[in-house]
């Protein structure tokens, strides 16, 4: 088994005092926009998105987008297959084997939560428990920033009407 970190971060989508309140309609449309324009949501991590193809799965009809994203760290380009499971989640399968999920869930009282999960493979850290743990600390912080920034940007896009734009 390859050395890996499995990290997740969850935040309430509409904490007390949040305005505007984000709905499933807003979030679903904005998660699809994030597939096509990731840099708008996580600009500190991703600097550009180029859609290579769009299709649907043959078995389920789910939308699939293949894209190339450029990560700020090292100006690294990664190809991802993005699979939509509306309105619950988007999955990002990277050519490196890493997997990211953006998940929307509902609490017992109908409150909405956003969770991002990350499976980061680190073959270069095989046998280096300290190095893997140090990398995990960085990845946990990155996960929190990714969720919080995504929610902040979604709220801004609902306020200014960008959430209605077709992609």
What CATH number does residue 49 fall under?
A: 3.30.530.20
The structure's pTM equals 0.94
Structure tokens at 54: 């769009």
Q: Average of pLDDT values for 23-43?
A: 94
Q: pLDDT for 78-113, tens place per residue?
A: 999 999 998 899 999 999 999 999 999 999 999 999
Q: Average of pLDDT values for 105-128?
A: 96
Is the pLDDT score of 133 beyond 80? Answer: yes
Domains in the chain: how many in total?
Answer: 1
Q: pLDDT for 34-89, tens place per residue?
A: 999 999 999 788 999 999 999 998 788 999 999 999 999 899 999 999 999 988 99
The DSSP line for 88-142 is TEEEEEETTS-EEEEEEEE-TTS-EEEEEEEEEE-GGGTT-HHHHHHHHHHHHHH
The H or E element spanning position 84 is: strand 76-85
Integer Cα distance of 128 and 123 in angstroms: 10
- pLDDT given at position 48: 96
Q: Which range of residues forms the domain containing residue 11?
A: 4-164
CB atoms within 10 A of CB 105: 13
Q: How far is CA 78 from CA 22, 106, 117, 145, in A?
A: 30, 31, 18, 20
- pLDDT given at position 43: 77
């Amino acid at each position: 088994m390859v050395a890996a970190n499995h990290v997740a971060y969850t935040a309430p989508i509409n904490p007390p005092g949040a305005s505007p309140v984000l709905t499933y309609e807003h979030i679903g449309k904005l998660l699809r926009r994030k597939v096509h324009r990731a840099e708008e949501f996580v600009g500190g991590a991703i600097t550009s998105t180029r859609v290579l193809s769009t299709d649907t799965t043959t078995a389920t009809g789910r939308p699939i987008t293949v894209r190339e994203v450029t990560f700020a760290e090292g100006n690294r380009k990664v190809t991802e297959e993005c699979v939509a499971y509306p309105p619950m989640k988007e999955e990002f399968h990277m050519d490196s084997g890493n997997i990211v999920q953006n998940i929307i869930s509902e609490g017992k009282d109908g409150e909405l939560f956003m969770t991002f999960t990350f499976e980061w493979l680190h073959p270069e850290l095989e046998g280096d428990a300290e190095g893997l743990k140090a990398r995990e600390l960085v990845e946990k912080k990155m996960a929190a920033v990714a969720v919080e920034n995504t929610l902040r940007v979604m709220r801004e896009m609902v306020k200014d009407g960008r959430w209605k734009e077709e992609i």
